[in-house]
Structures are given as C-alpha cells and as structure tokens.
Amino acid sequence: MCLKLIVIFLIAVTTWAYIFPEQAIATLAELKRQIRLRIIRQAGENAAKDLRRNLHLFASENEIEAGLVEEVLAENHDLIVERLGRKYADEVLGKPDPTERYY
C-alpha cells in the first residue's frame, strides 16, 4: 500500500514538472536555497561555539577579561554565524549555482 502511494506521488510530481517546468525549477531552486541556509545556520553555530571556546582559551592564556570576549562575540554573533557557515557550505556544497540565485 505504501509503495503504491509513493509511486503515485512520484508520477504526480513528474507530471506536474512536465506540465509546469518553470514552477518546478523555481520550487527546486527554493528547496535548494532552504537546505543551504539550514546548513549555513547549523555549521555557523557549531563554528561559533568552537571560536568562542578558542577565544576563551586565548584570553585566559593572555590575561584578557572573559567579559570582553563575550561582549565582542555577542555583538557580532549573527555575522560570525553567517560568515563561518557560508564558508563551510561553500567548501562542502560548492558555490551556489545560477538556479539558486535567479529563481
């Protein structure tokens, strides 16, 4: 029963993509964008945690106040997450292709 539903769904999606190719390409591009953004957010958060840990180690070795490190990281958290996540996504997935940009 489940296999039949999957086959019917795949046939329906294929038919839809054949009848409306522009909408199918746009939908696929949006799906790829959302997946890339999710990877960027997750990888960026993980990299930001590593950066926070390394900066705290560096601060403790060089007698820098931990509050200053936290203040700088808190002010720039979104930028740090985006840049580190985008770097990771570009390394793993490659640069975004034209369909991800234009649709």
In angstroms, the CA 70 to CA 61 distance is 16
Express the helix, strand and coil content of the chain in percent, nearest 5 each: 90, 0, 10
Indicate whether 100 pLDDT > 90. no
pLDDT digits (tens, 9 = 90+) for 22-73: 999 899 889 989 999 999 999 999 999 999 999 999 988 988 888 888 998 9
Report residue 17's pLDDT band, with 50, 70 and 90 as the boundaries: very high
Indicate whether 74 pLDDT > 60. yes
State the pTM of this model: 0.74
* C-alpha separations of 2 from 8, 9, 13, 70 in Å: 10, 11, 17, 52
Q: What distance lies between CA 25 and its chain's CA centroid?
A: 20
Please answer whether residues 29 and 78 qualify as being in contact, where contact means their C-beta atoms are separated by less than 8 angstroms: no
